[in-house]
Structure 1
Amino acid sequence: MLHKNNEAVVSMSSLYTLYTLFTISSLYTLWAVVSMSASSNYYSVVNAVWSCLAACFLLAFCVHKISLHLPKRLERSRVYLLFEDLIRYGKTKQQIKRDSWLHVFDVPKRWFWHFYAVSVVWNGALIAMHVNHPYPVWLTDILGFLTGVPLRTISQVPQVSTLLVLLLLWLHSVRRLLECLCVSVFSDGVIHVVQYVFGMGYYVILGLTALCSDHQGAGQGAPEAPLQKLGWLHVGGIVVFIGASLLQHCSLVQLARLRTGRSGTVKTLAHRMPSGGGFEFVSCPHYFAELLVYVSLSLVSGGLSLTWWLVVLYVVFNQALAAQLCHEFYMSKFKSYPRQRSAFIPFVL
């Protein structure tokens, strides 16, 4: 009887989670339709890329949640194993029985620092090119392709919003690089080579996305002193960015101390149950903080950019999937794991 009650709770939780994501996606779809009617730049490559990425991760999340209630025999199918292997990384891969051929595509999870190293170099270069307007011809051509804006409408005045977004993105990458190298304690966890390739290109596309606002002609006009262009959205976005960065750093330090203790010496590579701080509310406060970082970037960009809100939408579904997999891992490994704890967004998801 207790087992059936637990199944009912899990089913209701799954339905609530799917309903929440459906509501979020519906609101964003409404936003997209309104923006499409108001903006001639809606049909652009950059918007299509982020829309497709958001849709793919939403689909992956829904398929995973539904698969939990399908017959167990489907878990042995190669299609199911390949799907789960592609969406999982690190400790969550331990929950599936992987065929030997799948190990060929494994890459060490500790290589995460490569993503941030690429971001620091690439986005640092974009900052330099943005300050020294006009852009090189090759960069102008790339931005023209992504936005669909004719070359004659290219902005020649660097925008403070774009510069701030690039600077915050660069600072975020520097911090994450240092955390990967100096704070986090990686075990022998792995990621799929497809995830690795995607991660290597992710921050390249993200930096180009930040420049697309200038390329759409928003920066035409006479130059002004940077401080004269600062508004409340800039200040609010920076405040959210600082708070999110502190939350993420503290959460990563807490996870590292589960393996090192306060002495800093690695004592174990086993996974332990996290508690305290943001972990009292969600299983993955560092993923929630990641979402807040991107919300802050959207605010700094002006708060009305459809492109940046599509980026936020992608981050919602991407981090929701990763957090859900971690949440399931904790729930299955630790019998005393708090049942009231959310996976990703406090009290919501």
Structure 2
Amino acid sequence: MWLLSTIFQSPPSIWITGMSAVNVISMANVSYGEISGKHMKYSKFWNQTTNNSNLITNTKFSSRFGMLFIYTPSFLAGLASFWLFPHHNFRFLLLISALTIHFFKRIFEVIFIHKYSGSIMVDSGIVISLGYLISTSIMIYSQYLSQELGEPSIDLKYLGIFLFLVGISGNFYHHYLLSKMRKDGEKEYKIPKGGLFDFVVCPHYLFEILGFVGISFISQNLYALSYAIGVILYLTGRSYATRKWYLSKFEDFPEHVKAIFPYLF
């Protein structure tokens, strides 16, 4: 605990402390849902059998529009923070830059990289979009308030920059490899190959985890750390579900390929 308090500053308010705990608990619950088969209603292995007649529940976005709907508010929040919080230190500038770049990259990939074959349920799209927006906004606001606390005893922001750049680059590269698996008009799924796909089924998630660990090191704020832990929990669970799905669909899926961490899990 002493080391944790030395590296990561305590949140500047009880409310942010509570939201840090809520974030970890909620993401752990969603991760358990992925592992146990209760998937969010946008994945290729979501069980689409439902008898709910609610109009919103049964309404769908196209995948491309749905992903833009999910990511754009958080990107705009990051962009607006440059104007809303003009007086900031270097660490705060690094954090809002990293978050804005992260969501800009996602929007860029939605428009120019990803290929789609499905749709996203409107209710799930709204929940996910709000989740990203609220978490991004709290992370930015918490960092803004934390400027008055002074610098942590151990400075991790430069290591954080390195991890963020490695994470965002590796994530983009493996998304690019996924996009090249299908020719225009093709909708069938294939076993991913190339890069770290030869070792894990979800290397793009592994690099996304690295990116958010980097953001937590840039911030050195407990809320950013709680968000990174939540990302680790969720993407680990989702990777497990993804590997399970591939094993069920492809008899020749290589058994040695792990879910997310090479040689381990």
Fold match (TM-score > 0.5): yes
- Equivalent residue, structure 2, for 1:203: 133
8 A Cα contact 2:95 2:219, kept in partner: yes
Match of 1:122 among 69, 77, 84: 77
8 A Cα contact 2:58 2:121, kept in partner: no
User: Are residue 278 (structure 1) and residue 196 (structure 2) matched?
Assistant: yes
Shift of 1:285: 1.1
Match of 2:24 among 29, 32, 54: 54
Classify the secondary structure of the residue corresponding to 1:190.
Answer: strand
Q: Which runs of 4+ in 1 moved over 4 A?
A: 31-35, 38-43
Match of 1:108 among 42, 47, 62: 62
User: Are residue 293 (structure 1) and residue 211 (structure 2) matched?
Assistant: yes
User: Are residue 176 (structure 1) and residue 130 (structure 2) matched?
Assistant: no
8 A Cα contact 1:165 1:297, kept in partner: yes
RMSD over aligned CA atoms reads 3.0
Higher Rg = 1
Match of 2:255 among 308, 314, 339: 339
- Equivalent residue, structure 1, for 2:230: 314
TM-score (norm: length of structure 1)? 0.65
8 A Cα contact 2:11 2:142, kept in partner: no
Q: Which has the higher contact order (CA 8 A, sep 6+)?
A: 2
Q: Map 1:193-272 onto structure 2 (within 5 A).
A: 193-216=123-146, 218=148, 233-260=156-183, 266-272=184-190
CA distance 1:162–1:335, shift in 2 (3 Å): same
8 A Cα contact 2:71 2:132, kept in partner: no
8 A Cα contact 1:90 1:109, kept in partner: no
CA distance 1:88–1:329, shift in 2 (3 Å): farther
* Alignment deviations for residues 185-214 of structure 1 (CA, whole Å, 9 cap, x no partner): 011233461343332441343133123133
User: Partner amino acid for 1:92?
Assistant: F
- Determine the C-alpha separation between the residues in 1 that align with 2:222 and 2:96: 17
Structure 1 residue runs of 5 or longer lacking an equivalent are 1-30, 69-83, 134-157, 222-230, 261-265
Q: Which moved more, 1:206-215 or 1:100-109?
A: 100-109
Shift of 1:32: 10
- Determine the C-alpha separation between the residues in 2 that align with 1:310 and 1:112: 24
User: As a proportion of its length, which structure holds more helix?
Assistant: 1
8 A Cα contact 1:50 1:314, kept in partner: no
Shift of 1:169: 0.9
Shift of 1:267: 3.8
- Determine the C-alpha separation between the residues in 1 that align with 2:2 and 2:117: 42
- Equivalent residue, structure 1, for 2:243: 327
Aligned residues: 258
* Alignment deviations for residues 208-248 of structure 1 (CA, whole Å, 9 cap, x no partner): 31231331453679xxxxxxxxx963322222111111111
8 A Cα contact 1:54 1:318, kept in partner: no
Shift of 1:338: 1.4
TM-score (norm: length of structure 2)? 0.84
Shift of 1:311: 0.9
Shift of 1:334: 0.9
Identity of aligned residues (%): 19
CA distance 1:43–1:174, shift in 2 (3 Å): closer
Shift of 1:33: 11
Classify the secondary structure of the residue corresponding to 2:245.
Answer: helix
Classify the secondary structure of the residue corresponding to 1:91.
Answer: coil
Structure 2 residue runs of 5 or longer lacking an equivalent are none
CA distance 1:171–1:235, shift in 2 (3 Å): same
